[in-house]
Amino acid sequence: MGFLSIDIGTILFTLLNLLLLFLGLKHFLFKPVNGILEKRQEEVDRKLQEAETAKSEAEAEREAYTQKLADAKEESAEMLRKATRRAQERSDEIVAAAKAEAAAVMQQNEQELERERRRAATALRGEVSGLAVAVAEKVVGREINQADHERLIDEFIDSVGDVQ
C-alpha cells in the first residue's frame, strides 16, 4: 500500500477502534477514578460539615454555660444580699429587744426603789410619830390625844419635806 494512501477500510476500523477505546477508557479509567474522587470529595464535605456542626454545637454549649455561670453569680449575689439583709434585720431586732428589756428592767428597778423608798418613809414616819408621842407623854406626863399628835407630826414632816 502507498505511503500516503487513504484507505476506507483502515478509516472504518480506526473509527471503530476509536469508539471502543473511548468506551474502554470511560469504563475502565474515568468511571472508577472519578467515582473514587467523588467519594473522597463527599467524605471531605461530610467531615467539614461535621466539624461545622460540632463547632456550632460547642459554641451553643459555651453560650449556655456562660449564661448559666452568669445566672449562678447573680443568684449567689442575690442570696448574699438577702442573707445580709436578714442578718441586719435580725441584729436590729435583737438590739431593739435588748434595749426594750433593759428599759423595762430599769423601770422596774426604779419602781421598786420608789416603792421601797415610800415604804421606808412611811415606816419612818410611823415610828417618828410614835416616838414623839412617847416623848411628849413622858415630858407632859399626861396622855395626849394620840390622833391629834399624829396629825401634828405628819404636818411637821410634810412641811419639812421629803427626805430626799
Q: Which residue ranges make up the site for other proteins (CB under 8 A)?
A: 1-15, 17-18, 20-22, 24-26, 28-30, 32-37, 39-40, 43
At its nearest, how many Å lie between other proteins and the CB of residue 18? Answer: 6
CA distance 159 to 83: 64
Q: Residue type at 36?
A: I
Which among 60, 15, 78 has a CA at the least distance from the CA of 7?
15
Q: Which residue's CB is nearer to other proteins, number 7 or number 89?
A: 7
Nearer to other proteins, 33 or 113 (CB): 33
Closest contact distance (angstroms) between CB of 53 and other proteins is 21
Nearer to other proteins, 6 or 160 (CB): 6
**Beta carbons of 132 and 155 less than 8 angstroms apart:** no
The 3-state DSSP class for residue 156 equals: helix
The smaller minimum CB distance to other proteins, of residues 13 and 156, is found at 13
Q: For residue 150, with 0-12 CB atoms within 10 Å meaning exposed, 13-18 middle and 19 or more buried, which class applies? A: middle
Three cell numbers written together for 19: 469508539
**C-beta of 36 vs 95, nearer to other proteins:** 36
Q: Smallest distance from the beta carbon of 44 to other proteins, in angstroms?
A: 10
Work out how close the CB of 20 gets to other proteins at its nearest, in angstroms, rounded to a whole number.
Answer: 7
For the bound state, the minimum distance from the C-beta of residue 54 to other proteins, rounded and expressed in Å, comes to 21
Contact 118, 143 (CB under 8 A): no
Decide: 129 and 154 in contact? Cβ < 8 Å: yes
